[in-house]
Structure 1
Amino acid sequence: MCLTFKKISDFERGILYQLLMDGYSFDNRWRESFEQNWKESDNFFFENPDIADKCGFITVLDGKPIGHISWDPRNRPEYVEIGHNCIASEYKGNGYGKRQLQEAINRILQYKGLKKIIVGTNCNLVAPHNYESVGFKLLQRRKNEGAASFSGDYLDYEMLL
């Protein structure tokens, strides 16, 4: 099993959207609540390949794309924020998400003078465990009373550097 991390621009438009659709396919409410955001994210990265290749990548297992992660560096040196981070359903539970996250952190750490990395997620996902396993600390928990309340409270994490 060969796991690699490839440039987003090496793939066709729609791959980020498809991976998010697959990664959240365990509950159709995710699609109902976030599909438009997923499409916008995919469009943004494919309309801005220079940003895509500096601020994200696709995780590939034996030639097949199985996940992706991206980040927003615009608030440097105060912080970089991790954005979408997903692994296709078939590949969850095998450590690929943690390896993907660690690769992203290693790339983000190349920014000189960076003070912290932040990320937000929901409590009803595996993601909190993944973030904590690589050193993120829970900063705050916020009540989720919106249309996506099924996803649980919002969790804000940070990794001080």
Structure 2
Amino acid sequence: MSIEYIKVSDFYRGIFFELLKDAYSFDCKYEQAYKSKWQENDDFFFNNLQIADKYCFITTLNGEAIGFVAWDPRNMPEYAEIGDNCIVSKYKGNGYGKLQLQEAINRITQNDVKKIIVTTNDDLIPAQRMYQSVGFTICQRRKKQNVEHIDYVYFL
């Protein structure tokens, strides 16, 4: 099996939304809460392909898009913040999310960033395990809209 990390401009508008919808299909509350944000992000990246190709990539397996990761560079070199990071349901649990995350870390560190931050929800246990397995540590827990969020940091 061949994993590749492909630039966004090689794909079509709507791919981010499709990947996120599938990745979070295990619980309809995610689509209900984030549907408009997912669409806004998809529109932003395809309206700004030069940004998308630099701060995001789509992970493919044998030519099929299976996930993506994007990060916000606006606070670099102090820190970069990983935003969306997902793998579609069919391929979860096979280590592709960890490979994708490690590729993102490798790309972010090329910018002499001091740290990388990411946030996940307390009910997304596999995501928590993945972040911790590559060296992220919990720096804060906070409640937002009745959901406990966990902020992680990766020091470089």
TM-score class, shorter-chain normalisation, is over 0.9
Name the CA distance, whole Å, in 2 between partners of 1:52 and 1:143: 30
Name the aligned partner's letter for residue 132 of structure 2: E
Residue in structure 2 matched with residue 69 of structure 1 by the alignment: 69
The correspondence of residues 135-150 of structure 1 with structure 2, limited to 5 A, is: 135-144=135-144, 146=145, 149=146
How far residue 143 of structure 1 moved from its aligned partner, in angstroms, is: 2.1
TM-score (norm 2): 0.97
The count of aligned residue pairs is 155
Name the CA distance, whole Å, in 2 between partners of 1:122 and 1:21: 17
Name the CA distance, whole Å, in 2 between partners of 1:78 and 1:67: 27
The correspondence of residues 26-105 of structure 1 with structure 2, limited to 5 A, is: 26-105=26-105
Point out 4+ residue stretches in structure 1 off by more than 6 angstroms: none
Identity %: 56
SS at match of 1:9: helix
TM-score (norm 1): 0.94
Name the CA distance, whole Å, in 1 between partners of 2:131 and 2:66: 19
Name the CA distance, whole Å, in 1 between partners of 2:110 and 2:136: 18
Tell me the alpha carbon deviations over residues 36-85 of structure 1, each in whole angstroms, 9 at most, x when there is no partner: 00000000000000000000100000010000000011101110000000
Name the CA distance, whole Å, in 2 between partners of 1:156 and 1:83: 12
Residue in structure 2 matched with residue 160 of structure 1 by the alignment: 155
How far residue 153 of structure 1 moved from its aligned partner, in angstroms, is: 1.0
Name the CA distance, whole Å, in 1 between partners of 2:114 and 2:104: 16
SS at match of 1:139: strand
SS at match of 2:111: coil
Give the unaligned 5+ runs of structure 2. none
**Larger % of strand: which?**
2
Name the CA distance, whole Å, in 2 between partners of 1:129 and 1:86: 14
How far residue 29 of structure 1 moved from its aligned partner, in angstroms, is: 0.9
Residue in structure 2 matched with residue 23 of structure 1 by the alignment: 23
Name the CA distance, whole Å, in 2 between partners of 1:3 and 1:17: 21
Residue in structure 1 matched with residue 8 of structure 2 by the alignment: 8
Name the aligned partner's letter for residue 155 of structure 1: I
